[in-house]
A = this chain, B = another copy of it.
Amino acid sequence: MLPVVVVHGGAGQIPKENTEVCCAGVREAARSGYSVLTSGGSAMDAVVEAVTMLENNPVYNAGKGSVLNVKGEVEMDALVMDGRTLDSGAVSAVRGVANPTQLARMVMEKTSHLCLTAEGASKFARAMGVPEVPEESLITDYARMRWKKLEPGSNPVECQIGKIGTVGAVAVDVEGNLACATSTGGILNQMEGRVGDTPCIGCGGYADNQIGAVSPTGHGEAIMKVTLSRLILFHMEQGKSPEEASDLALDYMKERVKGLGGVVVVDPKGTWTARFNSLQMTWAAAQQEQLHYGLYHGEDFTEPI
């Protein structure tokens, strides 16, 4: 069944006018990730490729297109994890970089740390020669319009309804190695310096060659409270399938902390799933020359790659 890549473009309700482009973007990202895998690239290469494409696509809440914080600024979080070694890299509240996921990978590969935050992350990016991009280049008209429409004092959690667009990917490569990547602009109207689930290992993603890999999306604070990604893998360690484990964990998150969201998951054999308890989640999976994709519950459209 190997290799496989599964991508999501966020849970939550997508504005009608964006549905087509959001669904097209994840299909394109899954195709690109799959092409990396079939060319002999690693699972890590594939997830970073797929998520980079979603960061560059302005319809998602990551990289260009990120939601704005309470001050109207962009602060981004990203995480990658390598299932071979449990090595991981993350950045939180970083500004002025086009592709936080690539920077997270550099944290993993070029430092002895796992996470760099805020100005420290920006300084590291400069030291690595990552081009600094002007904040304006990350802000779309749509993001600014949504921010401007807010009432003073709007609650970030409530603002979030209507667009929860964290992006992510999981993959298994031809050698059976697993990886995950997740990237986000956070939540609309968030406080300056708010860090959500994404850069928090075990919450915003986890990958272990011995168990599986997960990338989640949804209410970040709820995902954190239940360490959603690691929780799903614990269920898989107990013998549950990726689908059963995801449903158990998402049900628990809803019941215990009233959180909604979704996940993409793979196991070491290449079994994959995309599950959510929100209204929608854009997702796409590429395996055995077939592309699967969907948006609403129960959907699994296919087309040849």
Residue in chain B with minimal CB distance to A113? B194
Interface size bracket, A side: 35 or more
Given A227-B202, A234-B234: A93 and B117 interface contact (C-beta under 8 Å): yes
Q: Which residues of B contact A234 (CB under 8 A)?
A: 234
* In the complex, per-residue mask of A36-62: 1 if CB is within 8 Å of any chain B CB, else 0: 000000000000000000000000000
**A120 CB contact (under 8 Å) in B120, B123, B192:** B192
Contact of A193 among B118, B192, B256 (CB under 8 A): B118
CB distance from A231 to the nearest CB of B (A): 8
How many copies make up the complex? 2
- A window 175-223: CB within 8 A of B: 190-196, 199-203, 206, 220-221
Cβ–Cβ contact A193 & B86, under 8 A: no
Interface centre among A113, A193, A220, A257 (most CB of B within 10 A): A193
Q: Which residues of B contact A221 (CB under 8 A)?
A: 112-114
Question: Would you call A87 an interface residue if the criterion is a C-beta within 8 Å of the partner chain's C-beta atoms?
Answer: yes
A191 close to B86 (CB less than 8 A): no
Contact in complex: A116, B193 (CB < 8 Å): yes
Give the residues in chain B near A157, CB-CB below 8 Å.
Answer: 112
> A92 within 8 Å of B by Cβ?
yes
Partner of A155 from B92, B112, B118, B124 at Cβ < 8 Å? B112
Q: Nearest Cβ in chain B — how far from A78, in angstroms?
A: 13
CB of A121 within 8 A of chain B? yes
Q: In A42-101, which residues have CB < 8 Å from any B CB?
A: 85-88, 90, 92-93
Contact of A119 (CB < 8 Å), options: B119, B225, B257: B119
Task: Give the residues in chain B near A123, CB-CB below 8 Å.
Answer: 192-193
User: In the complex, are the beta carbons of B156 and A112 less than 8 A apart?
Assistant: yes
- Distance (Å) between the CB of A219 and the closest chain B CB? 10
A175 to B60: give the CA distance in the assembly, Å.
Answer: 45
Complex contact B114–A193 (CB within 8 A): no
Q: Which of B114, B192, B195, B203 contacts A92 (CB 8 A)?
A: B195
Cβ of A26 within 8 Å of any chain B Cβ, yes or no, is no
A115 at the interface (CB under 8 A from B): yes
Query: Do the beta carbons of B230 and A201 come within 8 Å of each other?
Result: no
Interface: A226 (CB within 8 A): yes
Q: Known contacts A119-B119, A119-B192, A120-B194; can you find 19 more A-B pairs with CB under 8 A?
A: A86-B225, A86-B256, A88-B225, A90-B195, A113-B196, A114-B220, A114-B225, A115-B196, A117-B193, A118-B119, A118-B120, A120-B192, A123-B192, A124-B191, A201-B227, A227-B227, A227-B230, A230-B231, A234-B234
